[in-house]
Chain A
Amino acid sequence: MAGISERIIDRLKAVNRLIALAMGAGLLLCAAFILAEILVRQLGGSLGGTDEIAGYVMAIVTSWGMAYCLLELGHVRIDFLRGCFASRGRAVLDLICMATLAAVASVIAYKCWPVVERSLVNGSRANTPLETPLALVQVPWFMGWAWFALSAWITLVAATFLVLQSRLKEAESVAGVFAEADAAAREAEAAT
């Protein structure tokens, strides 16, 4: 029977999967918008502002994609030394890494807030014909980083409980290194 830690992680994964799909859909929309711009330009017109909007899409996709990547163990880690440890040693190393990541993600989110705050206070608008209110795009961008930090802390707590219960294999699947081996194997399955 799955413990509470696993249930929490499964929930978190499901939510992040939905977020990632939404971001993917955003990318597709952005691509469609760029195509439309190319077509309109061939006809001598212009929709205008595709570059600017693509930039905002990139910032938001990036920040909200972070937590999904984390839960899928996608952030590159160099594991040649880690591979030399026994499973308990690996588990401790993984917890240290996850704690560090959670701390760094929190610092990033915390330091991103003043950027949004200033745009809100100044009512800043992009220096472009679109005059995009910066807060409109910076608030979702900031929330993506905050969600990344929160997801990292939740993952850390769940993984710590698993390690304390000596369920190292499960802990590794939550906070370990997703060996490129597994990644390629899954690719292989997906392709057949």
Chain B
Amino acid sequence: MIGTLSVSLLALLSISLPVGVVLFLLAFGIDQFYSSFPLIRGLGNMVWSSSKSATLIAIPFFVLLGEILVRSGIASRTYSALDRWFSWLPGGLIHANVATATMFSATSGSSVATAATVATVAMPQAERLGYDQRLFSGAIAAGGTLGIMIPPSINLIVYGFLTQTSIPQLFLAGLVPGLLLALAFLVVTALICAIRPDLGGTRRVFPFIDMLKALTELLPIIMLFTLIIGSIYMGWATPTEAAAVGVAGAMLIAALTSGITWKMMEASLLGTIKITAMIMLVVIGASFLNFTLASAGLGRELQDFLGSLGLTPFYTLLVIVAIYVVLGFFIETLSLMVVTIPIVVPLVLELGYDPVWFGILMIVLIEMALITPPVGLNLYVVQGARRSGSMSDVMMGSLPFVFTMGLMVAALIAMPGIALFLPAALQ
């Protein structure tokens, strides 16, 4: 069954059927061929109970927040401020790409939104200042992935929702690995550009007074992050409520800095509904697929398979990591999470690993999937913003960062404390 399923999944995806539709089709197939019960009778109830969720309403809220930040110009002002602070490093503006992505990750729950935001404001600069496009765009694609690691994170909300893990704990656990990854991206960029100066652009030093002035442009984002995360940890709001607080904060900041226009709100709301529907078709499809998989006994089959390998928990974990890396080449990230969580997470817990820690490990693997070809959403987003040149430039430019993420996976496995010490310290 696992073999047939994987082949059908890849075949249906590659003929460009919508991902959500593919998940429903697979579920119908399992119902037809692998299950003796009329599972399809449960479809309506699954659709209702998987979409009627107060947890998931955080998704449209975080998307809306990001839309408001971009459309009110806060995003581009943040970028130019970070340019003043980071462009003296070897690699110049590329560091501002990573730094802007890191800052936006702290208010955005989505990687695609983060990458799109940064690409939108940064790509025109690359052409103007004569940067090597490969590393420049790769840094945006990779930096964008931080959106789902540094809290808030839609993917961590979905993980917590599906595995009954505390979302505030997951958010805390993602903070340090996210910042470490950002730092690692900066270091890798500096190293590469120190060896090959032609890959970076001109290093520019701004007068200190300019740098200080630029700090005020960072205030909106910093305030917003403090508001969202602070309201959770002060005990004022649940993660869902914090998302609503974030929307209000973003609207307030937009109103104070550039004014809110009807046109801008309209565009933000439309974008939000579109992205929400896109995500939810995948989430609902995955819920129904999971329902049929469980009824058909896939979990048991997989458990038996891993059991038959006779591996220690550690090597079993490595096999699971390898599976994620391979699947990550082909499957869109949210689908990758929702399809695998119900099968993999119980197994991993049985092996004795911590659910919060594994959530963070999975996020790094998913981040990797976002920038590995052929299916890497962030690659497409950044390529889209370039409007010229070949896709393979972005892929090449992302490679050093894929490698960095691999190191992060190893570090998390060797030292789980990277993720777990913060939630433990604040408990």
Q: Does B241 contact A (CB under 8 A)?
A: yes
CB proximity of A185 to chain B, nearest CB, Å: 6
Interface residues of A in 36-76 (CB under 8 A from B): 37-38, 41-42, 50-52, 54-59, 61-63, 65-66, 68-69, 72, 74-76
A62, B51: Cβ atoms under 8 Å?
yes
Q: Does A104 contact B (CB under 8 A)?
A: yes
- Given A76-B18, A77-B19, A190-B71, A111 and B41 contact (CB-CB distance below 8 Å): yes
A190, B70: Cβ atoms under 8 Å?
yes
Q: Does A136 contact B (CB under 8 A)?
A: no
Q: Does A150 contact B (CB under 8 A)?
A: no
B40 to chain A: which residues have CB within 8 Å?
Answer: 107, 111
CB proximity of B403 to chain A, nearest CB, Å: 23
Could you tell me the distance between the alpha carbons of A31 and B20 in the complex, rounded to whole angstroms? 27
By beta carbon, the residue of chain A nearest B241 is A34
B28 to chain A: which residues have CB within 8 Å?
Answer: 107
Q: Does B278 contact A (CB under 8 A)?
A: yes
- Given A111-B44, A182-B384, A55 and B377 contact (CB-CB distance below 8 Å): no
B274, A20: Cβ atoms under 8 Å?
yes
From B24, B75, B374, A80 is in contact (CB under 8 Å) with B374
Q: Does A120 contact B (CB under 8 A)?
A: no
A42 to chain B: which residues have CB within 8 Å?
Answer: 236
Number of A positions contacting B (CB below 8 A) = 71
Q: Contact flags (1/0) for B246-271 with A, using CB distance below 8 Å?
A: 01100000000000000000111110
B54, A54: Cβ atoms under 8 Å?
yes
Q: Contact flags (1/0) for A93-135 with B, using CB distance below 8 Å?
A: 1001100110010011001111100000000000000000000
Q: Does A163 contact B (CB under 8 A)?
A: no
B56, A58: Cβ atoms under 8 Å?
yes
Q: Does B312 contact A (CB under 8 A)?
A: no
Q: Does B120 contact A (CB under 8 A)?
A: yes
CB proximity of A94 to chain B, nearest CB, Å: 8
Number of B positions contacting A (CB below 8 A) = 75
B231 to chain A: which residues have CB within 8 Å?
Answer: 38
From B44, B282, B380, A180 is in contact (CB under 8 Å) with B380
Could you tell me the distance between the alpha carbons of A3 and B58 in the complex, rounded to whole angstroms? 41
A100 to chain B: which residues have CB within 8 Å?
Answer: 17, 21, 25
Q: Does A21 contact B (CB under 8 A)?
A: yes
A76 to chain B: which residues have CB within 8 Å?
Answer: 18-20, 278, 282, 332, 377
By beta carbon, the residue of chain B nearest A42 is B236
Q: Contact flags (1/0) for A1-40 with B, using CB distance below 8 Å?
A: 0000000000000000100110111011011101101100
Q: Does A157 contact B (CB under 8 A)?
A: no
Chain A interface (Cβ within 8 Å of chain B)?
Answer: 17, 20-21, 23-25, 27-28, 30-32, 34-35, 37-38, 41-42, 50-52, 54-59, 61-63, 65-66, 68-69, 72, 74-82, 93, 96-97, 100-101, 104, 107-108, 111-115, 138, 141, 145, 177, 179-185, 187-188, 190-191
Given contacts A58-B52, A59-B51, 5 further A-B contacts (CB under 8 A): A27-B61, A30-B57, A58-B53, A68-B277, A96-B15
A and B contact pairs by CB, cutoff 8 A, 27 listed: A24-B64, A32-B248, A35-B244, A50-B241, A54-B57, A59-B53, A62-B276, A62-B284, A65-B273, A72-B274, A74-B275, A75-B20, A76-B282, A76-B377, A77-B17, A78-B16, A80-B374, A97-B21, A100-B21, A104-B25, A115-B48, A180-B380, A183-B381, A183-B384, A184-B381, A184-B382, A191-B121
